[in-house]
């Protein structure tokens, strides 16, 4: 009799496993995931100490399904220069905005339809739109919403534009 229960337990475990794995994979692919943020380009918002500590953030993928993004959001996106790499930056300008660039080939850039302008909070140490220009919305991966690690930094990330980075919005919007 014990053998029969053992088989039933194994069968239930295996069938549960084959349900749980696809559900978990789908959740992380479509709804949310976590990511470790390396580097200093988003200081002081992320990795403020600059030491060997990295912040771990919650990424909301669900919000990106309709490219719902606002100025000040911190987003994860595929690097326009290296499709194997994901970068995390702050949205500075939306389509139709005119942005004063810092070091880009033109001083003022009108963001084309279907694009955004992203920058790191630590402008002097960031590889961002000032280097590669407006970014296609299709490269968006997720919206960073919370710092999960280290525990002393647990917090919701603020949607704010740095005071020195203001956009001139298109009056026709």
DSSP the chain: -HHHHHHHHHHHHHHHHHHHHHHHHHHHHHTEEEEEE-SSTTTTTSSTT-SS--EEEEEESGGGGGT---TT-EEEEE-SS-TT-EEEEEEEE-TT-EEE-SSSSSSEEEPPTTEEEEE-SSGGG--SHHHH-SEEGGGEEEEEEEEEESGGG-EEPP----TT--EE--TT-
Same domain, 109 and 77: yes
Q: Which domain holds residue 139?
A: 32-168
Instruction: Count up the domains in the chain and report the number.
Output: 2
- Express each pLDDT in 14-49 by its tens digit: 677 666 666 666 656 666 788 899 889 999 899 887
Q: Please, which residues bridge with residue 99 across strands?
A: 109, 167
- Express each pLDDT in 139-153 by its tens digit: 999 999 999 998 999
Same domain, 4 and 62: no
Query: Half-sphere exposure of residue 112, counting CA atoms within 13 Å on the CB side?
Result: 5
Sign of CA dihedral 74, 79, 81, 82: positive
What local confidence, expressed as pLDDT, does residue 155 receive? Answer: 93
Same domain, 66 and 26: no
What pairing do the DSSP bridges indicate for beta strands 86-93 and 115-119?
antiparallel
Same domain, 19 and 36: no
Domain assignment present for residue 173? The answer is no
This prediction's pTM: 0.79
Active site residues: 41, 89
At 45, which CATH number?
A: 2.10.109.10
Same domain, 69 and 97: yes
Q: Residue 169 — very low, low, confident or very high, per pLDDT cuts 50/70/90?
A: low
């Amino acid at each position: 009799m014990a053998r029969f229960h053992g088989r039933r337990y194994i069968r239930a475990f295996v069938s549960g496993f084959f349900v749980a794995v696809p559900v978990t994979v789908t959740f992380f692919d479509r709804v949310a995931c976590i990511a470790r943020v390396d580097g200093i380009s988003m200081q002081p918002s992320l990795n403020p100490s600059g030491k060997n500590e990295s912040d771990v953030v919650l990424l909301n993928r669900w919000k990106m399904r309709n490219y719902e993004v606002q100025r000040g959001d911190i987003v994860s996106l595929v690097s326009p220069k290296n499709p194997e790499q994901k970068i995390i930056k702050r949205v500075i300008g939306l389509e139709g905005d005119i942005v004063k660039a810092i070091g880009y080939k033109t001083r003022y850039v009108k963001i084309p339809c279907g694009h955004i302008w992203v920058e790191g909070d630590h402008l002097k140490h960031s590889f961002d739109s000032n280097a590669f220009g407006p970014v296609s919305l299709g490269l968006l991966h997720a919206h960073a919403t919370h710092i999960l690690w280290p525990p002393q930094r647990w917090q919701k990330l603020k949607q704010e534009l740095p005071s020195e980075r203001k956009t001139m919005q298109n009056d026709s919007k």
